[in-house]
Every structure is written in structure tokens, then in C-alpha cells.
Amino acid sequence: METKWLEDFISLVETNNFSRSAQLRHVTQPAFSRRIQSLENWLGTDLVDRTTFPTRLTPAGVVFYEQALEMLGQINGVRDLLRHRRAASQTTIDLATPHTLSLTFVPKWLTALERDFAPLNSRLKALNVHDAVLQLVEGGCDLLLCYHHPRQPVQLDPGRYDMLVMGREALRAYARCDKAKQPEFSLPGRKAAPLPFLSYTTNAYLGRMVDLILADAKPALHLDKQYETDMAEGLKMMALEGRGIAFLPESAVTREVKQKQLARADAGGSWEIEMEIRLYRERPSAARPGKAIVGRLWEFLAEQLQPAASKRRVPSSER
């Protein structure tokens, strides 16, 4: 059994609505339903009466709800106890971020912070976007660095979480260069001869960005999916092998483009999308003040990035 199953079930009981709970838990409704079913399979009994609307618990679900609250409380209590006993953790910044940003943005960013702000101890958790967001929501990290687009937003309550825009990233099509330093494949392709396509898996955030590009493409693109993975780095390596076209973040291919190993495969078209790179933290409160080092870093970044009228001063208790 996974802890998140308990949290899913408790959320469902509190909302009485699968769609609302899925939104609060930052997953699709089908994925949320599968997790509830996984919990029921693990327990060997139905917790939800699916013959009625609105959602209602079975007698077993009513009993298990109280147990779930108790179990989750004990788990979180032990976690908090162990975290508070690790004094060193108060000077270490825990950062959750998608795999791509962990390879492209984070190394240079940390180097700049050490130069301009202060020496830092950091702990990086490279995850998919969904799990990285959950790390922040569940208290597993101090900062979340992730991509954001208005049509595929990261849905975090602005009343609870602070946000800074750290930069922007273009997602474009690339292919291996031939001997003449030109892309071996170029969009849009032809219906009779679609181009080999290196794709993200359906659960990848960048995959949803590519879906937006394809949906908006004019003229339409003709692609033949031949490979998929959830990591941009994996697609880049396949593109370098000449296996097809891949949509990749610009920062992930800077060196390869400069060395003429890869080239843009969009032939001057508009088949691209721009994303924001956002940094989030849980807003400090009297009950959860957060780490002092995180408060100081946030104030430094806000001073650098935000217009004077919109700066949010960090209370002195956080400094």
C-alpha cells in the first residue's frame, strides 16, 4: 500500500466528488479512480458505493476512513519527528524539479546563487512534474522548480504558495544534422510519407506540451510515432542517433546545436511553444515558518526578479 492512496481516499471522503478530489490531488480523474481501486484491491473490499450519486462510502469505507486518518497521522508524525531531529536539514535546501530542469537549469542556477547570494547546501529530487508538485504539497521539499503553461497549469493555491518566474523555455522540434549540417528530417512531413517521431509518454508534462503544438499546427504535421519515453534526455539521445524528430527544450540541446549535431527541424515554421520556469514555496506562517535559509533566499530572488511594486517582503521572523 502507498501513503498517497490513504491521502486520496481521505480527500474523496471530504469532497464526495471524484473530479474535485482528482483536481486537488493534481492527477487526472482516471488516474485518481485507479488509485482508489488499487487501495480497494489491497484491502480486498469495496470502500466506495459506485451505484449511487453523489459519492457514498460502503460500510467498510466508513470504518476504514477513521483508520486511514489515524494511520496517516502516525506516519506524518514520525516523519516530522525525524525531520526535526536532523539539525543539518535546517541549513539544507530541498529542491524538487522535473528531470529536464535538473540537468539544464539547476546546475548553472546554483552556481550563480553561490556567486551572488551565499554558499548553499542543497538536496535535489529529480522527478516527473506531478510527483515534484506532490513533494511540495506533502512537505517533502522546500522549493519546487517546474514548467508552467496557461493551458497546462500547475494548480497550486496562490493563497498558500508563493511563486516567482525564473525564466522561459521554448519547446521546439530537432533532428540530427546530415553531412551538410542540415536537419535530416524537416517538418511538416507528408501524409504519404510521415516523418519518424520520437514522442514523450502520455503522462509526461512535456508530452502534453507537444500535444498542444500538434493540435495548433498549421499546416498539420505528419508524424509516425516510433519511440516514446518520459525523459527529454532519452529523446535527445535517440535524435542524435538519427532515429527521428523530437520536440526538446531549447536549453537541453544548446551544446548539440552549437556543435552542429542537432538542428531545428521546423524549417522556420511556428511549431513551438513557450513555457515559464517557475519557482514555488509554501508561504510561511506562524505554524509553519519554514527554514530561515529558504526565507533569505526567497527574499533575494524576489529582489532580483520582481518589480518593486509587487515584491513581497519576507517577515523578520523568517530571516
User: Is the model's pLDDT at 308 over the cut of 70?
Assistant: no
29, pLDDT greater than 90: no
Confidence of residue 186 (pLDDT cuts 50, 70, 90): very high
C-alpha cell at 181: 549540417
Q: pLDDT tens across 262-294, in order?
A: 999 998 678 999 999 999 999 998 888 889 999
Confidence of residue 252 (pLDDT cuts 50, 70, 90): very high
- For residue 293, the model assigns a pLDDT of 94
Q: Looking at 36-40, 81-85, 290-294, which range is the least confident one?
A: 81-85
> Please, are residues 52 and 58 in contact by the beta-carbon 8 Å criterion?
no
* pLDDT at 315 (0 to 100): 45
CATH 1.10.10.10 applies to domain 3-85: yes
Comparing 311 with 132, the larger pLDDT belongs to 132
- How would residue 84 be classed by pLDDT, with cut points 50, 70 and 90? low
Residue 66's pLDDT band, with cuts at 50, 70 and 90, is confident
Topology agreement, domain 3-85 and domain 87-167+276-318: no
Asked if pLDDT for residue 90 goes beyond 90, the answer is: no
**Over 70: is that where the pLDDT of 319 sits?**
no
Asked if 276 contacts 185 with a C-beta cutoff of 8 angstroms, the reply is no
Give the pLDDT mean for 70-94: 72
Return the closest-CA partner of residue 46 out of 30, 32, 62: 62
Instruction: Choose which CATH entry (3.40.50.300, 3.60.150.10, 3.40.50.620, 3.40.190.10) describes domain 169-275.
Output: 3.40.190.10
Q: What is the mean pLDDT of the chain?
A: 88
Q: Average pLDDT of 114-125? A: 93
Distance (Å, whole) CA 219 – CA 179: 28
Per the structure block, which three cell numbers stand in for 6?
490513504
pLDDT surpassing 80 at residue 69:
yes
Q: Whole-model pTM above 0.85? A: no
- Distance between CA atoms of 279 and 281, rounded to whole angstroms? 7
Q: What is the reported pLDDT for 311?
A: 42
The predicted structure's pLDDT at residue 86: 53
- CA-nearest of 33, 42, 34, 29 to 2 is 42
Domains of the chain by residue range: 3-85, 87-167+276-318, 169-275
Scored b (16 or more CB within 10 A) or e, 141-172 reads bbbbbbbbbeebebebeeeeebbbebeebebb
Could you give the CA distance from residue 156 to residue 9 in angstroms, rounded to a whole number? 20
pLDDT tens-digit series, residues 41-61: 998 889 988 777 777 889 998
CA 56 – CA 202 distance, rounded (Å): 31
Mean pLDDT value of segment 116-136: 91
- Return d(Cα 143, Cα 164) in angstroms, integer: 11
Count the alpha carbons within 13 Å of 258 in the hemisphere toward its beta carbon.
Answer: 6
Band of residue 81 on the pLDDT scale cut at 50, 70, 90? low
CATH class as words, domain 87-167+276-318: alpha beta
- How does residue 313 score in pLDDT terms, banded at 50, 70 and 90? very low
Instruction: Identify residue 271 by its one-letter amino acid code.
Output: W
Lowest mean pLDDT among 35-44, 99-108, 228-237, 249-258: 35-44
Residue 309 has pLDDT above 80, yes or no: no
pLDDT over threshold 60, residue 126: yes
Q: Is residue 290 classed as helix, strand or coil in its secondary structure?
A: coil
Average pLDDT over residues 124-143: 91
